[in-house]
Amino acid sequence: MNNRVKRKISAIAIIAVAALSGAGSAHAQKIGLSSQFVNIVMEGLNIGSSYNLLELKGIPYTVKNRGENTIDVSIESAAPDKRTLYRSYEPIPDPSWVTLTPNRVRINPGDAGFSGITISIPDDPKYAGRHFHALIMAKTINPGMFAASVQSHLRFSTGKGPKTLEAEARYAAMVKLNYDMWPSALYLKKAVVGKYDSFKSEGKGFLFTNRDEEEIELVISARPWGRQQSPPGYETPKDVSWAKFEPSLIKMDPLSLKRVKPMFDIPKEYAGRKLAFMVQLSLPIGTIVNFTHRVLLDVGDDGTASVTTEKVETQKKKSKKEKSK
């Protein structure tokens, strides 16, 4: 049996203070509970089987009395509501699947009470390959106006757990990728501050080739320079939020090509400077698959300056021609 248990140790305490009258005076009574059994995760369980956590993993349910008086505590399982339900899990169909022995303990001040947890899964195929979430609730049952309680989480899967399945899905998606991205370094020489479309200005961008017989999806984004050495003569700004790509989500049919164009909104502060940054490719689920491509661009003084310079050069040429005549 390949069960993996994840245990998070953390104390949770709920304290109540009651003002009690007596013989012309008042005193405060502190009532509190905490538990180290906060979040247990198990996977690889089988339908039609029972699992005693204390026998299998040496994990008892523990609840501590942080109050000033001896208390009786009831311990029971319950189904979570939408607010407390963990993502990728469903509420346990029947709280009786999880039993606690004993389900009632008496605890002296500062001491801890213990209970064994048993998970019993019905022998029904419809429960195979699913992920269940149960709550373990401990609360004081002493008579009085005030009470304390503490809540813990128990999650288990009949088969592989959500995190294992997600990791396998990421790996499978990476393995089947068969694409090319060209060029590895995109040099742009005519960038200007403000809106800049490299396709319109220089006819340059990235070309993707899907060599697989299945559709692929990739997310492309700009990231700060991620290599030890910066390219000679170039600056590597930490903020590249002004650098976008169109489309940002690349959807490619089998055996197809796709052009992706850089669409920049270059801040004025970068006028007359040379900039470099990285290009990141990731799966839609967030897994990074490539962080080697880069963009290097020369930013002119500004759009107006470039136009003015071209006009001056044109006038000089005309003057030379007239003189030569």
Taking only the tens place, the pLDDT of each residue in 59-89 is 888 899 988 888 899 999 999 999 999 988 9
| Domain topology for 176-307 | Immunoglobulin-like (2.60.40)
Q: Are the C-beta atoms of 100 and 161 separated by less than 8 Å?
A: no
* Spatial separation of the C-alpha atoms in residues 147 and 151, rounded to whole Å: 14
Average model confidence (pLDDT) across the chain:
82
Confidence of residue 147 (pLDDT cuts 50, 70, 90): confident
What's residue 223's pLDDT?
96
Compare 90 and 319 and report the one with higher pLDDT: 90
Any idea where the domains of the chain sit in the sequence? 6-165, 176-307
pLDDT over 60 at 23, yes or no: no
- In the chain, which ranges are continuous DSSP H helix? 53-57, 162-175, 198-202, 303-324
What's residue 1's pLDDT?
45
pLDDT over 80 at 231, yes or no: yes
> Region 248-276: what's the mean pLDDT?
94
Confidence of residue 309 (pLDDT cuts 50, 70, 90): very low
> Region 79-102: what's the mean pLDDT?
93
Residues above pLDDT 90, as percent of the chain: 54
* Spatial separation of the C-alpha atoms in residues 92 and 86, rounded to whole Å: 12
- Where residue 55 falls (left for φ over 0; alpha for ψ -120 to 50; beta otherwise) is alpha
Give the bridge partners for 130, in sequence order: none
Lowest mean pLDDT among 36-50, 93-107, 116-130, 310-324: 310-324
Compare 318 and 158 and report the one with higher pLDDT: 158
Whether the model clears a pTM of 0.95, i.e. scores above it, the answer is: no
Domain 6-165 shares a fold with domain 176-307: yes
> Region 125-131: what's the mean pLDDT?
93
Give Cα 209 distance to the centre of its chain.
29
* Spatial separation of the C-alpha atoms in residues 131 and 121, rounded to whole Å: 12
> Region 111-132: what's the mean pLDDT?
93
* Spatial separation of the C-alpha atoms in residues 32 and 42, rounded to whole Å: 29
In 3-state terms, what secondary structure has residue 96? Answer: helix
Q: Does domain 6-165 have CATH number 2.60.40.10?
A: yes
Compare 142 and 278 and report the one with higher pLDDT: 278
Using alpha carbons, list the distances in angstroms from residue 138 to 78, 113, 262.
11, 11, 58
Q: Are the C-beta atoms of 89 and 81 separated by less than 8 Å?
A: no
The pLDDT tens digits of the residues spanning 177-214 come to: 788 999 999 999 999 999 999 999 999 999 999 988 88
pLDDT over 90 at 287, yes or no: no
pLDDT over 80 at 19, yes or no: no
What tokens appear for 262 in the block?
């850089």
pLDDT over 80 at 285, yes or no: no
Compare 244 and 226 and report the one with higher pLDDT: 244
Give the bridge partners for 124, in sequence order: none
> Region 105-123: what's the mean pLDDT?
92
* Spatial separation of the C-alpha atoms in residues 64 and 33, rounded to whole Å: 6
pLDDT over 70 at 143, yes or no: no
> Region 10-31: what's the mean pLDDT?
41
Lowest mean pLDDT among 4-18, 149-163, 226-240: 4-18
pLDDT over 50 at 16, yes or no: no
> Region 298-307: what's the mean pLDDT?
62
Residue count (the chain): 325
What's residue 43's pLDDT?
86
| Helix, strand, coil fractions of the chain, as percent rounded to 5 | 15, 45, 35
